[in-house]
Amino acid sequence: MASVARPHPCHFPRAWRNGVPALTSPQKLPLVAVIATGGTIASRKDDNGAASPALTGQALLDLLPPQPLRLRAIELLAKDSSSLTFSDMQAISDAVAKQMADPDIAGIVVMHGTDAMEETSLLVQLQHNAGKPVIFTGAQFSSDSTHADGSINLADALHEALQQSGVRLAFGGRVLPVWGLYKAGSDRADAFALAGRSKAPSLALPASVAGQRVDIVAVHPGADAIHLDASLAAGAQGIILCALGSGNATPEIVEGVSRAVTSGVPVIVSSRVPEGSLTPTYGGGGGGHDLGQAGAIHSRLLRPGQARILLAALLANGATRDEIRQAFA
Protein backbone atom coordinates (compact mmCIF):
# COMPACT_ATOMS: atom_id res chain seq x y z
CA MET A 1 0.00 0.00 0.00
CA ALA A 2 1.24 3.46 -0.88
CA SER A 3 2.08 5.81 1.96
CA VAL A 4 -0.38 8.63 2.57
CA ALA A 5 2.13 11.24 3.68
CA ARG A 6 1.45 14.52 1.90
CA PRO A 7 3.98 15.02 -0.94
CA HIS A 8 5.11 18.33 -2.30
CA PRO A 9 2.43 19.63 -4.74
CA CYS A 10 4.84 19.56 -7.70
CA HIS A 11 4.86 15.77 -7.48
CA PHE A 12 1.12 15.40 -7.83
CA PRO A 13 -0.44 14.95 -11.27
CA ARG A 14 -0.99 18.20 -13.11
CA ALA A 15 -4.73 18.01 -12.38
CA TRP A 16 -4.10 17.87 -8.62
CA ARG A 17 -1.54 20.64 -8.25
CA ASN A 18 -3.96 23.51 -7.78
CA GLY A 19 -5.98 21.65 -5.21
CA VAL A 20 -4.39 18.70 -3.45
CA PRO A 21 -7.22 16.44 -2.28
CA ALA A 22 -7.70 15.95 1.42
CA LEU A 23 -6.12 12.69 2.47
CA THR A 24 -8.12 10.11 4.35
CA SER A 25 -7.38 6.91 6.25
CA PRO A 26 -5.47 4.27 4.27
CA GLN A 27 -8.38 1.83 4.45
CA LYS A 28 -10.64 4.27 2.60
CA LEU A 29 -8.19 5.25 -0.12
CA PRO A 30 -9.17 4.10 -3.64
CA LEU A 31 -7.30 1.12 -5.06
CA VAL A 32 -5.80 1.42 -8.55
CA ALA A 33 -4.33 -1.55 -10.42
CA VAL A 34 -1.16 -0.73 -12.39
CA ILE A 35 -0.33 -3.26 -15.11
CA ALA A 36 3.31 -3.23 -16.22
CA THR A 37 4.09 -4.40 -19.78
CA GLY A 38 7.55 -2.90 -20.40
CA GLY A 39 8.17 -0.11 -22.86
CA THR A 40 10.32 2.99 -22.65
CA ILE A 41 8.83 3.95 -19.30
CA ALA A 42 10.52 0.86 -17.82
CA SER A 43 13.72 1.17 -19.84
CA ARG A 44 17.29 2.00 -18.90
CA LYS A 45 20.39 2.14 -21.06
CA ASP A 46 23.01 -0.57 -20.83
CA ASP A 47 26.77 -0.13 -21.14
CA ASN A 48 26.44 0.04 -24.92
CA GLY A 49 23.86 2.83 -24.73
CA ALA A 50 20.94 0.64 -25.81
CA ALA A 51 17.72 1.14 -23.86
CA SER A 52 15.53 -1.83 -22.96
CA PRO A 53 12.94 -2.64 -20.28
CA ALA A 54 14.71 -3.10 -16.95
CA LEU A 55 12.35 -1.79 -14.24
CA THR A 56 9.40 -3.65 -12.78
CA GLY A 57 6.05 -2.04 -12.28
CA GLN A 58 6.63 -1.82 -8.56
CA ALA A 59 10.01 -0.18 -9.13
CA LEU A 60 8.32 2.46 -11.31
CA LEU A 61 5.72 3.10 -8.65
CA ASP A 62 8.48 3.42 -6.07
CA LEU A 63 9.94 6.28 -8.10
CA LEU A 64 6.82 8.33 -7.39
CA PRO A 65 6.39 10.37 -4.25
CA PRO A 66 3.58 9.19 -1.95
CA GLN A 67 0.19 9.26 -3.63
CA PRO A 68 -3.27 9.50 -2.04
CA LEU A 69 -4.05 6.02 -3.37
CA ARG A 70 -3.54 2.37 -2.75
CA LEU A 71 -1.63 0.83 -5.65
CA ARG A 72 -1.54 -2.76 -6.88
CA ALA A 73 1.39 -3.49 -9.21
CA ILE A 74 0.82 -6.31 -11.70
CA GLU A 75 3.97 -7.57 -13.43
CA LEU A 76 2.60 -8.85 -16.74
CA LEU A 77 5.23 -8.29 -19.46
CA ALA A 78 8.60 -6.63 -19.88
CA LYS A 79 8.77 -6.05 -23.64
CA ASP A 80 9.31 -3.27 -26.12
CA SER A 81 5.89 -2.70 -27.64
CA SER A 82 7.36 -2.98 -31.13
CA SER A 83 7.69 -6.71 -30.48
CA LEU A 84 4.18 -7.30 -29.14
CA THR A 85 2.20 -10.03 -30.90
CA PHE A 86 -1.56 -10.37 -31.02
CA SER A 87 -1.16 -12.93 -28.23
CA ASP A 88 0.69 -10.37 -26.09
CA MET A 89 -1.94 -7.71 -26.74
CA GLN A 90 -4.64 -10.21 -25.86
CA ALA A 91 -2.84 -11.03 -22.61
CA ILE A 92 -2.87 -7.32 -21.72
CA SER A 93 -6.57 -7.06 -22.55
CA ASP A 94 -7.31 -10.14 -20.45
CA ALA A 95 -5.35 -8.68 -17.52
CA VAL A 96 -7.41 -5.50 -17.75
CA ALA A 97 -10.63 -7.56 -17.72
CA LYS A 98 -9.50 -9.43 -14.62
CA GLN A 99 -8.88 -6.20 -12.72
CA MET A 100 -12.16 -4.67 -13.92
CA ALA A 101 -13.96 -7.67 -12.43
CA ASP A 102 -12.44 -7.03 -9.00
CA PRO A 103 -14.95 -4.96 -6.98
CA ASP A 104 -12.12 -3.45 -4.90
CA ILE A 105 -10.51 -1.83 -7.95
CA ALA A 106 -11.50 1.77 -8.66
CA GLY A 107 -9.45 2.16 -11.86
CA ILE A 108 -6.72 0.61 -13.96
CA VAL A 109 -3.51 2.03 -15.41
CA VAL A 110 -1.58 0.20 -18.14
CA MET A 111 2.07 1.16 -18.57
CA HIS A 112 2.90 0.41 -22.19
CA GLY A 113 5.42 1.17 -24.91
CA THR A 114 4.51 3.98 -27.29
CA ASP A 115 5.19 2.08 -30.52
CA ALA A 116 2.01 0.01 -30.12
CA MET A 117 0.07 2.08 -27.58
CA GLU A 118 -2.60 2.95 -30.14
CA GLU A 119 -3.12 -0.70 -31.04
CA THR A 120 -3.42 -2.30 -27.60
CA SER A 121 -5.55 0.49 -26.18
CA LEU A 122 -8.02 0.12 -29.05
CA LEU A 123 -8.15 -3.65 -28.56
CA VAL A 124 -9.06 -3.14 -24.89
CA GLN A 125 -11.81 -0.70 -25.89
CA LEU A 126 -13.20 -3.08 -28.49
CA GLN A 127 -13.22 -6.11 -26.23
CA HIS A 128 -14.58 -4.64 -23.01
CA ASN A 129 -17.42 -2.40 -22.00
CA ALA A 130 -15.13 -0.60 -19.58
CA GLY A 131 -17.29 0.23 -16.61
CA LYS A 132 -14.22 1.58 -14.84
CA PRO A 133 -11.46 3.96 -15.98
CA VAL A 134 -8.72 2.22 -17.98
CA ILE A 135 -5.82 4.58 -18.62
CA PHE A 136 -2.85 3.83 -20.86
CA THR A 137 0.41 5.69 -20.35
CA GLY A 138 4.14 5.38 -20.99
CA ALA A 139 7.14 7.51 -21.82
CA GLN A 140 9.09 8.90 -24.72
CA PHE A 141 12.39 8.96 -22.83
CA SER A 142 13.98 6.20 -20.77
CA SER A 143 13.89 6.36 -16.99
CA ASP A 144 17.57 7.32 -16.78
CA SER A 145 17.30 10.08 -19.41
CA THR A 146 17.82 13.71 -18.45
CA HIS A 147 14.40 14.28 -20.08
CA ALA A 148 12.66 11.34 -18.37
CA ASP A 149 8.90 11.81 -18.60
CA GLY A 150 7.60 8.52 -17.29
CA SER A 151 6.93 9.48 -13.68
CA ILE A 152 4.82 12.54 -14.46
CA ASN A 153 2.86 10.61 -17.10
CA LEU A 154 2.28 7.82 -14.60
CA ALA A 155 1.15 10.27 -11.92
CA ASP A 156 -1.26 11.88 -14.39
CA ALA A 157 -2.61 8.45 -15.35
CA LEU A 158 -3.19 7.55 -11.70
CA HIS A 159 -5.27 10.69 -11.27
CA GLU A 160 -7.23 10.00 -14.45
CA ALA A 161 -7.90 6.45 -13.21
CA LEU A 162 -10.24 7.94 -10.61
CA GLN A 163 -12.30 9.89 -13.15
CA GLN A 164 -15.04 8.72 -15.53
CA SER A 165 -15.11 5.19 -16.89
CA GLY A 166 -13.75 4.26 -20.32
CA VAL A 167 -10.43 3.66 -22.08
CA ARG A 168 -8.20 6.71 -22.52
CA LEU A 169 -4.59 7.78 -22.91
CA ALA A 170 -2.82 10.08 -20.42
CA PHE A 171 0.40 11.29 -21.98
CA GLY A 172 2.40 14.48 -22.29
CA GLY A 173 -0.02 16.48 -20.18
CA ARG A 174 -3.05 15.52 -22.28
CA VAL A 175 -5.88 13.02 -21.99
CA LEU A 176 -7.09 11.59 -25.31
CA PRO A 177 -9.67 9.02 -26.39
CA VAL A 178 -8.21 5.96 -28.11
CA TRP A 179 -10.49 5.83 -31.20
CA GLY A 180 -8.43 7.43 -33.99
CA LEU A 181 -5.27 7.66 -31.87
CA TYR A 182 -1.85 7.56 -33.53
CA LYS A 183 1.73 8.32 -32.55
CA ALA A 184 2.58 11.69 -34.07
CA GLY A 185 6.12 12.33 -32.82
CA SER A 186 9.21 10.27 -32.11
CA ASP A 187 11.25 12.80 -30.13
CA ARG A 188 8.88 14.94 -28.11
CA ALA A 189 7.05 14.38 -24.84
CA ASP A 190 3.63 15.14 -26.36
CA ALA A 191 3.75 12.14 -28.66
CA PHE A 192 0.15 11.38 -29.62
CA ALA A 193 -2.61 12.92 -31.71
CA LEU A 194 -5.97 12.00 -33.20
CA ALA A 195 -6.53 11.34 -36.90
CA GLY A 196 -9.83 13.15 -36.53
CA ARG A 197 -12.73 13.61 -34.18
CA SER A 198 -15.58 11.15 -34.41
CA LYS A 199 -17.59 9.07 -32.01
CA ALA A 200 -16.35 5.51 -31.67
CA PRO A 201 -18.88 2.97 -32.92
CA SER A 202 -20.62 0.81 -30.36
CA LEU A 203 -18.99 -2.57 -30.89
CA ALA A 204 -18.86 -5.69 -28.76
CA LEU A 205 -15.95 -7.84 -29.97
CA PRO A 206 -14.94 -10.05 -27.03
CA ALA A 207 -13.34 -12.97 -28.89
CA SER A 208 -9.58 -13.39 -28.59
CA VAL A 209 -7.42 -12.07 -31.43
CA ALA A 210 -4.59 -14.48 -30.59
CA GLY A 211 -3.82 -16.52 -33.70
CA GLN A 212 -5.16 -13.96 -36.16
CA ARG A 213 -2.93 -12.74 -38.97
CA VAL A 214 -3.66 -9.34 -40.48
CA ASP A 215 -0.86 -7.77 -42.52
CA ILE A 216 -0.21 -4.13 -43.40
CA VAL A 217 0.91 -3.60 -46.99
CA ALA A 218 2.58 -0.28 -47.76
CA VAL A 219 1.74 1.46 -51.03
CA HIS A 220 4.14 3.79 -52.82
CA PRO A 221 3.86 5.52 -56.19
CA GLY A 222 4.16 2.91 -58.90
CA ALA A 223 3.82 -0.01 -56.46
CA ASP A 224 3.10 -3.49 -57.76
CA ALA A 225 1.20 -6.16 -55.85
CA ILE A 226 4.12 -8.39 -54.88
CA HIS A 227 3.89 -7.60 -51.16
CA LEU A 228 0.13 -8.00 -51.11
CA ASP A 229 0.40 -11.35 -52.90
CA ALA A 230 3.15 -12.46 -50.50
CA SER A 231 0.89 -11.73 -47.53
CA LEU A 232 -1.88 -13.79 -49.09
CA ALA A 233 0.53 -16.64 -49.73
CA ALA A 234 1.68 -16.46 -46.10
CA GLY A 235 -1.88 -17.01 -44.89
CA ALA A 236 -3.02 -13.49 -44.01
CA GLN A 237 -6.68 -13.49 -43.01
CA GLY A 238 -6.99 -9.79 -43.72
CA ILE A 239 -5.01 -7.02 -45.41
CA ILE A 240 -4.64 -3.36 -44.49
CA LEU A 241 -3.40 -1.11 -47.29
CA CYS A 242 -1.30 1.81 -46.09
CA ALA A 243 -2.34 3.73 -49.18
CA LEU A 244 -1.60 7.19 -50.55
CA GLY A 245 -3.58 10.38 -50.03
CA SER A 246 -7.23 9.80 -49.23
CA GLY A 247 -6.83 6.09 -49.95
CA ASN A 248 -5.29 5.63 -53.40
CA ALA A 249 -2.95 3.08 -54.96
CA THR A 250 -2.02 1.77 -58.41
CA PRO A 251 -3.72 -0.39 -61.06
CA GLU A 252 -1.50 -3.30 -60.01
CA ILE A 253 -2.63 -2.96 -56.39
CA VAL A 254 -6.26 -2.83 -57.52
CA GLU A 255 -5.75 -6.12 -59.35
CA GLY A 256 -4.19 -7.62 -56.23
CA VAL A 257 -7.11 -6.43 -54.12
CA SER A 258 -9.50 -8.13 -56.51
CA ARG A 259 -7.58 -11.40 -56.11
CA ALA A 260 -7.65 -11.10 -52.33
CA VAL A 261 -11.36 -10.32 -52.11
CA THR A 262 -12.21 -13.10 -54.54
CA SER A 263 -10.35 -15.53 -52.28
CA GLY A 264 -12.35 -14.34 -49.26
CA VAL A 265 -9.71 -12.10 -47.66
CA PRO A 266 -11.03 -8.64 -46.70
CA VAL A 267 -8.90 -5.63 -47.69
CA ILE A 268 -9.16 -2.38 -45.75
CA VAL A 269 -7.82 0.84 -47.25
CA SER A 270 -6.16 3.26 -44.83
CA SER A 271 -3.53 5.91 -45.58
CA ARG A 272 -0.02 7.01 -44.80
CA VAL A 273 -1.41 10.54 -44.42
CA PRO A 274 -1.83 10.89 -40.65
CA GLU A 275 -4.99 13.00 -40.36
CA GLY A 276 -8.28 13.63 -42.06
CA SER A 277 -11.25 11.68 -43.31
CA LEU A 278 -10.58 9.14 -46.07
CA THR A 279 -12.95 8.90 -49.04
CA PRO A 280 -12.87 6.68 -52.16
CA THR A 281 -12.96 9.56 -54.63
CA TYR A 282 -10.41 9.04 -57.39
CA GLY A 283 -10.44 6.80 -60.44
CA GLY A 284 -7.69 6.55 -63.04
CA GLY A 285 -7.20 2.80 -62.63
CA GLY A 286 -5.69 2.85 -59.14
CA GLY A 287 -7.60 5.43 -57.16
CA GLY A 288 -9.76 4.91 -54.13
CA HIS A 289 -12.90 4.55 -56.25
CA ASP A 290 -11.24 1.77 -58.23
CA LEU A 291 -10.13 0.03 -55.01
CA GLY A 292 -13.74 0.13 -53.84
CA GLN A 293 -14.93 -1.33 -57.14
CA ALA A 294 -12.43 -4.17 -56.63
CA GLY A 295 -13.99 -4.91 -53.24
CA ALA A 296 -11.78 -3.00 -50.81
CA ILE A 297 -13.36 -1.25 -47.83
CA HIS A 298 -12.19 2.24 -46.91
CA SER A 299 -11.39 3.06 -43.30
CA ARG A 300 -12.89 6.51 -42.89
CA LEU A 301 -10.79 7.45 -39.85
CA LEU A 302 -8.53 4.74 -38.46
CA ARG A 303 -4.94 4.70 -39.65
CA PRO A 304 -3.15 1.44 -40.48
CA GLY A 305 -2.16 0.36 -36.95
CA GLN A 306 -5.62 0.72 -35.48
CA ALA A 307 -7.32 -0.50 -38.66
CA ARG A 308 -5.34 -3.73 -38.28
CA ILE A 309 -6.61 -4.18 -34.71
CA LEU A 310 -10.21 -3.50 -35.63
CA LEU A 311 -10.12 -5.90 -38.58
CA ALA A 312 -8.49 -8.64 -36.47
CA ALA A 313 -11.15 -8.21 -33.79
CA LEU A 314 -13.94 -8.31 -36.36
CA LEU A 315 -12.55 -11.45 -37.98
CA ALA A 316 -12.08 -13.16 -34.62
CA ASN A 317 -15.74 -12.50 -33.88
CA GLY A 318 -16.94 -13.86 -37.23
CA ALA A 319 -18.13 -10.52 -38.62
CA THR A 320 -19.76 -10.49 -42.04
CA ARG A 321 -18.54 -8.29 -44.86
CA ASP A 322 -21.39 -5.85 -44.24
CA GLU A 323 -20.51 -5.70 -40.54
CA ILE A 324 -16.88 -5.02 -41.41
CA ARG A 325 -17.86 -2.25 -43.79
CA GLN A 326 -20.14 -0.67 -41.19
CA ALA A 327 -17.43 -0.80 -38.49
CA PHE A 328 -15.01 1.18 -40.66
CA ALA A 329 -17.60 3.67 -41.95
Label residues 273-295 b or e (16+ Cβ within 10 Å = b).
eeeeebebebeeebbbbbbbebb
With a CB cutoff of 8 Å and minimum separation 6, the contacts of 16 are 9, 159
Q: Is residue 203 part of a domain?
A: no
Q: Is residue 162 part of a domain?
A: yes
- Confirm or deny that 80 is annotated as ligand binding: no
3-state DSSP assignment of residue 268: strand
User: 135 and 100 in contact (C-beta within 8 Å)?
Assistant: no
pLDDT value at position 150?
97
Residue 32 sits in the same domain as residue 172: yes
| Domain edge (last residue) among 144, 159, 194 | 194
Per residue in 59-95, pLDDT (tens digit) is 999 999 999 999 999 999 999 999 999 999 999 999 9
Amino acid at residue number 200: A
Q: Per the residue annotation, which of 37, 40, 120, 250 is the catalytic one?
A: 40
| Domain edge (last residue) among 164, 194, 224 | 194
pLDDT value at position 329?
95
Q: Is residue 204 part of a domain?
A: no
Confidence of residue 13 (pLDDT cuts 50, 70, 90): low
Residue 253 sits in the same domain as residue 156: no
- Confirm or deny that 279 is annotated as ligand binding: no
Residue 69 sits in the same domain as residue 163: yes
pTM metric for this prediction: 0.92
Decide if 40 is catalytic: yes
Per residue in 95-104, pLDDT (tens digit) is 999 999 999 9
Helix (H) or strand (E) holding 77: strand 70-79
- Confirm or deny that 151 is annotated as ligand binding: no
| Domain edge (last residue) among 134, 163, 194 | 194
Per residue in 147-187, pLDDT (tens digit) is 999 999 999 999 999 999 999 999 999 999 999 999 999 99
pLDDT value at position 25?
62
Residue 175 sits in the same domain as residue 310: no
> How does DSSP classify residue 186?
S
Please give the backbone phi and psi of residue 123, each rounded to the nearest 5 degrees, phi first: -60, -45
Per residue in 277-317, pLDDT (tens digit) is 999 999 999 999 999 999 999 999 999 999 999 999 999 99
Residue 149 sits in the same domain as residue 41: yes
Host domain of residue 20: 9-194
- Report the domain count for the chain: 2
